Structure 1
Amino acid sequence: MTLLEITSRHGDGVADTSKCPASDRYVAGQEKELAQAIFLHTGWRSAGTWVWSRFRALEPVNALYEPLGNLLGELRVAEIPNIRSTSDSGHPPLGKPYYEEYRSFIQECGYGVVGYRKRFSIDRFGNTPDDEFPALRTYLKNLQDQSTGLGKLPVFKFCRSAGRLPWLRSAFPHAVHAVVLRNPAAQFASGWLLNQEWSNPFFVAAPFRVLGLNQVEPVVKQVVETFGVSLPPFVYASAEEYAAVCEQYARTAESSNAYRAFLALWSLCASRIVDGSDLLIDMDRLGQSSEYASELSAQFRARADVTPDFGGARNQFDEIKRLAIRISGIDGRLIRRTNSLAGKFALSQIDGLRDSQTGIAKVIREKLALADEVAEQWR
């Protein structure tokens, strides 16, 4: 199955709690409380912004975009109206700027969101929380508490949280942790086209940056070696300098190396799903099945008493196949071996975790089979 109910930690009954404040949400007649927040764990170019926009359309929701994004460190109220989607982003039309919901969280000095630290913007893959995690937990808890204080359900949309999924699930056990998953070839192609056609290397550079800044972690070192990823050397004074080097590196990166880096990171993130998530949102299926879209909405209604409308999702799988003719610089016939490595690595990481019957292995195999189908058309 591709909608995966990994572990239900909230009641599945549905009660009329529409008049209850978010801080006092419960399922009538049950001991289990409804979720106090929704954490959407997405990847770059996974269509996570579209999923988040479905929650943002709901009046009871305070939808917070990219709470770990590095722009929040310098964000000023006057700049918020200017930070909107561009023609090359592929994001849905948004009625409000991305960071509108952060107005009340700007520090008294006039810039920067209260409690935010630049180091939050780099995902981490350690088995145990790092020294920064208590500050990260406090920061997110403040965003959550102030949202519920307004009678709103906070919905966080992350792109930099997959490695920390188990940490966050442990720290926020009363939230729904939902993972947005898309087949990796389609996800990679979306970022590759932005670099190819719009000279935007950010999404090609991102895996190099994340892997490079985490290469001291044994599991990251292992995945880099397994996939044969060539990283820019880390001989720079700061994460910001290394990020700039990675963007320059991505502009001329050899295509198969760029894909290997992306698959290495995708595999790492996929391996965290078992111990970190409650729901899986299958983007390859969402645009193809109205029944699935309704089922997914019902899951959120039962767990959090909000009903996002997932109808009208684009068929992103068919779209990216039609775009294959525009992909240049990549020989898709060479991709199958990398996809096979991804499956072996991810499955080796989840073997024996929590519940071997969850179906995660099946979902990973499905995603990689779709990746073979997409990449086969690249020439």
Structure 2
Amino acid sequence: MMVPVAPHDPSLAPVFVHSGWRCSSTYVWSRFRALPGVRAYYEPWHEHLQTMTHEIIARETPEHTRLRHPGGDRPYLAEFSELIAPNGGVAGYQERFALDGYRLDAEQDDAEQQAYVAGLVGHAQAQGEVPVLACCRTLGKIGWLKRRAGGFHIVLIRDPLQQWLSFYSLRKRPRPTYFEICQYVLMSEFAEADGLRAELRVPESRGRGFAGRLAAVRERLKRAPAAVSFAAFLAVYILSYLKALPEADLVIDVDRLGRDADYTATVSKAVAAGCGLAPDFSDCRTPEPRDTAPAVAYRRISRRVVERLDVRAALAAPGATALLFGKLARAMVDAPEPAPSSWKMLGSWLRGRRDVLATAIARRAAA
């Protein structure tokens, strides 16, 4: 049974960890989870919570996925065990929470979602635990959450090119991954992206229910080239962080977290100062940048996305979005050039052979 939020010890104020997919959020969540007196909820907006059972919780562990997550054989969702309703599903959760309303402005009302969050927070606090909620589906509604649940809000950010390549690397065949499909769906949550969405031929998916939204974009874009996937991802990335960064209490650059010991120590101190918890990030190992990438005109597409979203001024503004501008600039400078196509390679080879042949003929004629 869900316990409503009541006045509590300030030391039990909730902590929220917001990020996109493939952005080290599972690692950061696992470091909070390792602390005594913490109840760390994993992906509390995930659609699977709608039908979750004790049996499913028991078998869903990091070692049984292809996602390269830490955690071994301990179930991701163990913290939800006491909240499973008699007929299955986490009490108070609705599947629409997963993607509908990904972008919620601070003044918008969603009483059911507010009650769900209050129930998770209150359940932990009633047991004397600090609630930590880590999720990849909340970048667009941090302001909404802060005004309703309070707490300390951490935002994780990663090099956008490496983040998208992590999506792409999980493809089993030339079809988009779950993560790519979600980016297509989320484009509909931002009115600013409507023009680009139409240009990329991403269907409007609002009002179709969770499964319907995924099915609509999967059917239309199951053979879309990597360039379309990258453009959609980058649009959601930019618009999400433009909304999230000004609301963050702490921003963690996960590209530095595993490579810069001084930065890691600074982050640990900032977390402790902000929420009283001291997670240990000393074992963080940031993946090396991928040295292979699909043949996509990354720089040209990035310029086009920024132009179509009309966010050049917002990205160049001083303040909270400076890190976002830096991430985009660095990713675009380092973006790999598309590999030449087979036809271009063949043409280049033929031109080279023609020149060699012409030289040989001229020499023979001169002799």
TM superposition score category, shorter chain reference: 0.7 to 0.9
Matches within 5 A, 1:40-189: 40-85=17-62, 86-107=64-85, 109-122=86-99, 123-131=101-109, 133-173=110-150, 175-189=151-165
1:37 aligns with 2:8: no
3-state DSSP class of the match of 2:152? strand
What is aligned with 1:3? none
What is aligned with 1:208? 184
Cα offset, 1:232, TM superposition: 2.7
- Aligned-partner Cα distance in 2 for 1:338–1:56: 41
3-state DSSP class of the match of 2:89? coil
Which of 231, 235, 238 is 1:264 aligned to? Answer: 235
- Aligned-partner Cα distance in 2 for 1:286–1:127: 30
What is aligned with 2:251? 280
* Higher-Rg member (1/2): 2
- Aligned-partner Cα distance in 2 for 1:364–1:235: 28
What is aligned with 2:335? 375
Compared with structure 1, are the counterparts of its residues 292 and 338 closer, same or farther at alpha carbon in structure 2 (3 Å cutoff)?
farther
3-state DSSP class of the match of 2:239? helix
What is aligned with 1:244? 215
3-state DSSP class of the match of 1:273? helix
Compared with structure 1, are the counterparts of its residues 339 and 90 closer, same or farther at alpha carbon in structure 2 (3 Å cutoff)?
farther
3-state DSSP class of the match of 1:58? coil
3-state DSSP class of the match of 1:360? coil
Compared with structure 1, are the counterparts of its residues 332 and 124 closer, same or farther at alpha carbon in structure 2 (3 Å cutoff)?
closer
Cα offset, 1:128, TM superposition: 4.9
3-state DSSP class of the match of 1:171? helix
Compared with structure 1, are the counterparts of its residues 197 and 48 closer, same or farther at alpha carbon in structure 2 (3 Å cutoff)?
farther
- Aligned-partner Cα distance in 1 for 2:167–2:226: 12
TM-score (norm 1): 0.79
- Aligned-partner Cα distance in 1 for 2:129–2:28: 18
Q: Percent identity?
A: 26
Cα offset, 1:276, TM superposition: 2.2
Runs of at least 5 residues in structure 1 that lack an aligned partner in the other structure: 1-21, 26-32, 352-356
Cα offset, 1:347, TM superposition: 4.7
Cα offset, 1:341, TM superposition: 4.3
3-state DSSP class of the match of 1:311? coil
Which of 269, 281, 286 is 1:315 aligned to? Answer: 286
What is aligned with 2:348? none
Q: Do the aligned partners of 2:12 and 2:125 also contact (CA within 8 Å) in 1?
A: no
Q: Do the aligned partners of 2:257 and 2:286 also contact (CA within 8 Å) in 1?
A: yes
What is aligned with 1:19? none
TM-score (norm 2): 0.81
Task: Supply the AA of the counterpart residue of 2:67.
Answer: S
Task: Supply the AA of the counterpart residue of 2:184.
Answer: F
Q: Do the aligned partners of 1:324 and 1:378 also contact (CA within 8 Å) in 2?
A: no
Compared with structure 1, are the counterparts of its residues 369 and 79 closer, same or farther at alpha carbon in structure 2 (3 Å cutoff)?
same
Compared with structure 1, are the counterparts of its residues 106 and 234 closer, same or farther at alpha carbon in structure 2 (3 Å cutoff)?
closer
Q: May I ask how many residue pairs the two structures share in their alignment? A: 332
Compared with structure 1, are the counterparts of its residues 302 and 128 closer, same or farther at alpha carbon in structure 2 (3 Å cutoff)?
closer
Provide the alpha-carbon RMSD of the alignment: 2.8
Task: Supply the AA of the counterpart residue of 1:231.
Answer: V
Task: Supply the AA of the counterpart residue of 1:54.
Answer: R
Which fold has the larger relative contact order, with Cα–Cα distance below 8 Å and residues 6 or more apart in sequence? Answer: 1
User: Which whole-Å deviations, capped at 9, do the CAs of 1:76-108 have from their partners, x for residues lacking one?
Assistant: 11221111224521212334111111000011x
3-state DSSP class of the match of 1:303? helix
- Aligned-partner Cα distance in 1 for 2:162–2:330: 9
Task: Supply the AA of the counterpart residue of 1:106.
Answer: I
1:192 aligns with 2:168: yes
Runs of at least 5 residues in structure 2 that lack an aligned partner in the other structure: 1-5, 340-367
What is aligned with 1:295? 266
What is aligned with 1:13? none
User: Which whole-Å deviations, capped at 9, do the CAs of 1:49-81 have from their partners, x for residues lacking one?
Assistant: 111111111112101011110000100112211
What is aligned with 2:191? 218
Q: Do the aligned partners of 2:315 and 2:322 also contact (CA within 8 Å) in 1?
A: no
